[in-house]
Amino acid sequence: MARVFTTEAADSVDGRPPRPRGAAERLRSAFGGWRGEGMWRRGWLLAAVALLLGLALLLHAEVPNAFGNLGSLWETFLPWGGLLVPVLLVGALIRRSVTALAALLVPTLVWVDLFGGLVSDRTGPEGDFTVVTHNVNADNPDPAGTARQLVGSGAEVIALEEIAGSRVRTYEEELAEAYPYHDVQGTVGVWSRYPLKDSEHVDIGMGWKRALRTTVRTPQGEVAVYAAHLPSVRVQFRSGFTAGKRDESVRMLGRRISSDPVRRVILLGDLNGTMNDRALAPVTSQLRSTQGASGDGMGFSWPASFPMARIDQIMVKGVDPASSWTMDATGSDHLPVAASVNL
């Protein structure tokens, strides 16, 4: 009867143990599949997906809004699109596809160009005027503690959104000593260390007061300060990203800001949208975000338990942003956002 020996058995016929494979041999075996024409022919589907991701990041403003406001939804969570890069990288390595790896350079470089500057530590000197905005949440279980925490920021001006009517007195009492000047319009309010004048409600089409405008008389001159809480948006299976009310409100707010007679303007508030969302263009085209100023991290503000988007904004015109940061969580579902500017 003929005998069939495996390689290891054949090596041990003469009584010697099987020869162990060296490191170089194991390395050649592991990467052997990367040699030859096959490494260029494999992974075309992965390469196509990588290129589409790169285009979606680069041309995010061109993603259509015709169906369920898909473009605005994509722009709201645009930074998270970068998470698809390591997923595709794993697929390219498993397929041993040089084509897919080369294609992955496109979304990688686009993401770094868009958001790389926000990831790095850009901490720098603070400016001469600090502001804070915070959606305090109408159901905040500890409004007094939230107010005391905001006082600790040392800001010259604090804007609060979503103040329940029954909580207004609590915030007034807790903030009174540090901020003797304030104005509340409906569910939004501004507290200041410096005198206020010309405070008024700003109509953003809500049917109740969710925006105000006031003039802060600082030692460096007058600054127009807006506090706003734009309508909420929803993601629903049938209707998609519903943001029609917010989009109309931002257009009304943009028109009001454009006609403001004061040269220096600061907008504080929960805009329920990110700086990448094209729907905020009536405001973002006029004002500069402080998010790109020196700071540390992406600055996501919502939800507080696991921040995924920067929907609380501080935007300026006629002043220079110096630094921006998010503060520690309070009893709200939003994180407070702070910025320092130079007047």
pLDDT, tens digit, 9 for 90 and up, residues 151-191: 999 999 999 999 999 999 999 999 999 999 999 999 999 99
Task: Please give the single-letter amino acid code of residue 209.
Answer: K
CA dihedral (262, 268, 270, 276) positive or negative: positive
Strands 234-236 and 288-289: unpaired
Q: What is the mean pLDDT of residues 268-273?
A: 97
Q: What percent of the chain has pLDDT over 70?
A: 84
280 touches 271 (CB < 8 A) = yes
DSSP structural state of residue 311: -
Decide: 277 and 230 in contact? Cβ < 8 Å: no
Give me the phi and psi of 196, to 5 degrees please. -110, 150
Sequence-separated (6 or more) residues with CB below 8 Å from residue 286: 254, 257, 258, 317
Q: What percent of the chain has pLDDT over 90?
A: 73
Q: Specify which of 10-14, 36-40, 64-68, 285-289 reaches the highest per-range mean pLDDT.
A: 285-289
Higher-scoring residue by pLDDT: 101, 297: 101
Residue type, 94: I
* More reliable by pLDDT, 20 or 138: 138
Q: Which two tokens stand for residue 208?
A: 């109740």
Q: Ranked by mean pLDDT, which of 6-20, 31-45, 225-239, 271-285 comes out on top?
A: 271-285
- Least confidently predicted of 64-68, 91-95, 97-101, 235-239: 235-239
Q: Is the pLDDT of residue 299 over 60?
A: yes
